[in-house]
Amino acid sequence: MESRSQGHVGSLSASKAPFPGSAADQVDDSTLSPVSAILHAYWRSDRRLLLIVATVVMISSASSVAAPYVFSGLIDRLPRGEGMSAFAWGFAGYAVLLGIASALQRTLQYLSFMTAENLGFIAATRFFDRILRKTSTFFLEHNPVEIQSAAARGCSALTTLVQLGIMIFIPAAAQLLLTLAILGVLVNIQIAAIVVAYGAVAITLGWSSTRRARVFLDRAIEAGQENARFVGNVMNSMDTLRHFGSHSWMSQRFTMKAREVRDNWRTYVFQRLAYIAVLGLAIALQFAVTLLLLIPEYRAGAVTIGDIVLFNTLLLQLNMPFEMVARAISDAARSRADLIPLARLWVAPEERRTSHAHDFTPSAGQLSFEGIGYAYDNGRGVTNVSFMARRGAITFLVGETGSGKSTIFKLVLKSIEPDCGRILVDGTDIATIDHTDWYAAVAVVPQDVMLLNESLADNILLGRPRDEVRLRGASKKAAILPIIEALPEGFETTVGERGLKLSGGERQRIAIARALYGEPAILLLDEASSALDERTERDILDHIRSLAEDVTVLAITHRKGVISTTDVVVELTDCGLSLT
Ligand SMILES: Nc1ncnc2c1ncn2[C@@H]1O[C@H](COP(=O)(O)OP(=O)(O)OP(=O)(O)O)[C@@H](O)[C@H]1O
């Protein structure tokens, strides 16, 4: 039986990089992956409402084009002195059309708000669900503030994209087609051509200016995301940073990044302002040229006053869809940049599901390591580890710092998979056991106890069905029951952010109760009692020793004093492994 832990093992395996391939290269393609998954779910959920919205958009666009057309016809008929009642009806029709257009516009705003809310709900819940399936490495690389910031930006970007489609592209396209048809048929095909040319210039200008401005936008978003990551780290270590007088360092770093965000946004805005000025010039040219073309036609009697009024109104009205399309291109680019952080997190590798998983129920709970090797990205890890942990005694893993004890735990917990060798439980390779079955059989008490700012009971149960007898039993075994019972609110007492209202020892006891509540077949203790006073530590370990008849206990410790003569010791060293 031989094992060796090693500082430098082999070279980096590509599959272990947090984002296989270059993350930056991947993101452009992969931005589509969350977008299409979310939009697909959104379409399934809101398709009826979306169809209603599209219909309302079409009617509203048609009535806003029809209104000036009706008005110009009435103006032309006015000097001909037709009966007043015909005019009254005509103007009434015009008024109704205006009313319909305005009411539908407002209705659209509320309908699109309603569907955007549902899109936000779908995007946020799907994203959260993906995050829950990420690998342990993912949570080493990303902190909560960063994840939250990416989610908020990404969800709002998706909503913007859908709103652009519903509120901009569809109405703009409908309005453009209808207006051009009226201009071409009723006024002058030449003028319709000028309008099309202007539109092409406006949209091309918008597109190219967006491309140029986008680099600043991307930089601003990236710097904002880095700042969110920094804030997350600072919040997690606020006390330590304060004790080391790091206030001005934190403040300077934050200000530097925030300045980068602001400066990039500023440059972005200047680029957009230049575009707006050029667009204004193009509008002036368009109006000047087309009006000059119309004057001789009017003199020749080819167009009427009503046609000129209609032309002016439609042209003014047309500028809006062109501008809307150009602005939509810019907003779409901004949304795309906003989506990148979310997409990056979305496509990060997830925990692998076991294919052809066996149904697993542990019996003797015998854990065998057979020639296990694992190297992290930096080449460190463990090589050729072989040992066995059985019931009847605690198996202690000991060894110098960095010798690979926690890595062994990560392997048992299936947070990482061995590069070589097998871990067997009662003869079954754990690689073939489904994660859910495995997590039901194994419990861990980590070195850094994670507590939620919820009640003590919630922290022990963590979502498992509540059984009072088991809850009290597990708390008793973890030597925390008397402390809980002495609290005015007992199990319902909340523990504060990260459990900071409890002492280190109390937090560890809660973690032990949490592990024992599930009545596991295998119990992993990662320095589980190091924060306890000597007597309590001895009491708890004695108690766990008595449980070791029914549970396989594998424990990491640095304190050899807690090991009794009945325990088994596995020592990880640079030159091998020894058993006692
Ligand atoms: N996520 C990681 N990425 C890269 N290297 C890592 C990672 N985790 C651990 N290592 C390296 O792997 C080696 C084994 O680490 P491990 O945490 O298993 O040691 P340990 O024996 O538990 O140490 P300690 O007693 O200090 O807790 C160390 O050299 C460590 O630097």
Which residue has a Cα nearest atom 17 of ligand 1? 406
Residue nearest atom 23 in ligand 1 by C-alpha distance = 402
pLDDT tens, residue by residue, 135-147: 878 887 888 888 9
Asked if 182 and 64 count as a contact pair (C-beta separation under 8 A), the reply is no
Note whether residue 14 is domain-resident.
Answer: no
Angle subtended by helix axes 189-236 and 247-299, to nearest 10: 170
Sign of CA dihedral 146, 147, 150, 152: negative
Q: How many angstroms separate the CA atoms of 153 and 537, rounded? A: 47
The per-residue pLDDT for 576 is 47
Q: Tell me: pLDDT of 5 over 80.
A: no
181 lies in the same domain as 282:
yes
- Whether residue 72 lies inside any domain: the answer is yes
CA atoms within 13 A on the CB side of 579: 11
Closest residue by CA, ligand 1 atom 16? 404
Atom of ligand 1 nearest to the CA of 572: 21
**Residue range 162-181: mean pLDDT, rounded:** 79
How far, in Å, from the CA of 399 to the mean position of ligand 1? Answer: 12
- Two tokens at 336? 């795309």
Angle between helices 504-517 and 468-477 (to 10 degrees): 130
Probe residue for ligand 1, chosen from 136, 376, 554 as the CB with the greatest number of ligand atoms within 8 Å: 376
Is residue 414 located within the same domain as residue 552?
yes
Residue 377 tokens, joined: 């990205």
432 and 559 housed in the same domain:
yes
Residues with Cβ within 8 Å of residue 489, at least 6 apart in sequence: 455
| Distance from residue 132's CA to the centre of ligand 1 (Å) | 24
Residue 212 gets the label, from left (phi > 0), alpha (psi -120 to 50) or beta, of alpha
Q: Are residues 461 and 527 in the same domain?
A: yes
State mean pLDDT over 471-491: 89
SS3 568: strand
Q: How far is the CA of 405 from the centre of ligand 1 (A)?
A: 8
- The 3-class secondary structure across 300-316, one letter per residue, is CCCCCHHHHHHHHHHHH
The tens digit of pLDDT for each residue in 397-414 reads 998 888 889 899 999 988
Question: For 495-552, how does the pLDDT look when each residue is reduced to its tens digit (9 = 90+)?
Answer: 776 666 777 778 888 888 998 998 889 999 888 666 667 777 777 788 788 888 888 9
Using most ligand atoms within 8 A of CB, pick from 139, 403, 411 the residue to mutate for ligand 1. 403
Q: What are phi and psi of 203, to 5 degrees?
A: -70, -40
Kindly state whether residues 291 and 439 are assigned to the same domain: no
- What pLDDT, on a 0 to 100 scale, did the predictor assign at position 374? 92
How many angstroms does the Cα of residue 61 sit away from the middle of ligand 1?
A: 64
Atom 25 of ligand 1, residue of closest alpha carbon: 401
Distance CA 395, CA 397 (A): 7
pLDDT at residue number 529:
61
Dist. CA 453 → ligand 1 center (Å): 29
Distance 400 CA to ligand 1 centre (A): 11
Contact partners, residue 21, CB within 8 Å, separation at least 6:
14
Residues 33/346, Cβ–Cβ less than 8 Å: yes
**Residue 3 in domain:** no
Please state, as a whole number, how many other Cβ atoms lie within 10 Å of the Cβ of residue 277: 10
Return the amino acid letter for 75: I
The structure tokens listed for 416 are 């990482």
- CA-to-CA distance for 97 and 87, rounded, in angstroms? 15
pLDDT at 580 over 60: no
Whether residue 130 lies inside any domain: the answer is yes
ipTM > 0.85? yes
Same domain, 553 and 469: yes
Taking residue 200's Cβ as centre, other Cβ atoms within 10 Å add up to 11
Q: Which amino acid is at 17?
A: A
Compute the distance between CA of residue 431 and CA of residue 434 in angstroms, rounded to an integer: 8
Ligand 1: centre distance to CA 406 (Å): 7
Distance CA 334, CA 395 (A): 56
Tell me which of 407, 448, 526 to substitute to probe ligand 1's pocket, judged by most ligand atoms within 8 Å of the beta carbon.
407
Determine the distance separating the centroid of ligand 1 and the alpha carbon of 382, expressed in angstroms. 9
Beta strand 568-573 pairing with 381-389: unpaired
Backbone angles phi, psi at 135, to 5 degrees: -75, 170
Sheet strands (E) in 262-346: none
CATH number of residue 123's parent domain: 1.20.1560.10
Cα of 380 to ligand 1 centre, how many Å? 7
Does 372 share its domain with 308?
A: no
Written as six digits, the tokens of 554 are 């594998």
* pLDDT at residue 14 in the model: 30
pLDDT interval class at 471 (50, 70, 90):
very high
Largest CA distance in the chain: 117
Residue 263 has pLDDT above 90, yes or no: yes
Predicted TM-score (pTM) of the model is 0.60
Whether 544 maps to a domain, the answer reads yes
**For 169-198, b where at least 16 C-beta lie within 10 A, e where not — what string?**
bbbbebbbebbbebbbebbbeebbebbeeb
Residue 252 in this model has a pLDDT that exceeds 80: yes
Q: Which atom of ligand 1 is nearest to the CA of 410?
A: 18
Domain end, chosen from 299, 317, 347, is at 347
307 and 381 in a common domain = no
Sign for the CA dihedral angle at 317, 319, 321, 324 comes to negative
**What is the Å distance from ligand 1's center to 408 Cα?**
10
Ligand 1 atom nearest the C-alpha of 7 is 29
Using the Cα atoms of residue 542, residue 545, residue 551 and residue 554 in order, give the sign of their dihedral.
positive
Query: Which atom belonging to ligand 1 lies closest to the Cα atom of 527?
Result: 27
538 shares a domain with 428: yes
How many whole angstroms separate alpha carbon 28 and alpha carbon 36? 13
Determine, yes or no, domain membership for 246. Answer: yes
In this structure, is residue 274 part of a structural domain? Answer: yes
What angle, rounded to 10 degrees, do the helices at 247-299 and 305-347 form?
Answer: 150
Domain count, the chain: 2
Q: What range does the domain containing 294 cover?
A: 22-347
CATH code of the domain containing 382: 3.40.50.300
Q: Are residues 196 and 280 in the same domain?
A: yes
CA–CA gap between residue 49 and residue 119 (Å, rounded): 12
- Bridge partners, 425 (sequence order): 367, 428
Choosing from 138, 374, 380 the residue with most ligand 1 atoms within 8 A of its CB, the one to mutate for a pocket test is 380
Pocket of ligand 1 (CB under 6 A): 7, 140, 376-378, 380-381, 399, 401-407
Q: Mean pLDDT over all residues of the chain?
A: 80
Which pLDDT belongs to residue 353?
Answer: 66
Same domain, 387 and 241: no
Is 357 part of a structural domain of the chain? no
Residues 423 and 394 in one domain: yes
CB burial string 539-554: b at 16+ within 10 A, e below = ebbebbbebbeebbbb
Q: Which residues are 424's β-sheet partners?
A: 368, 429
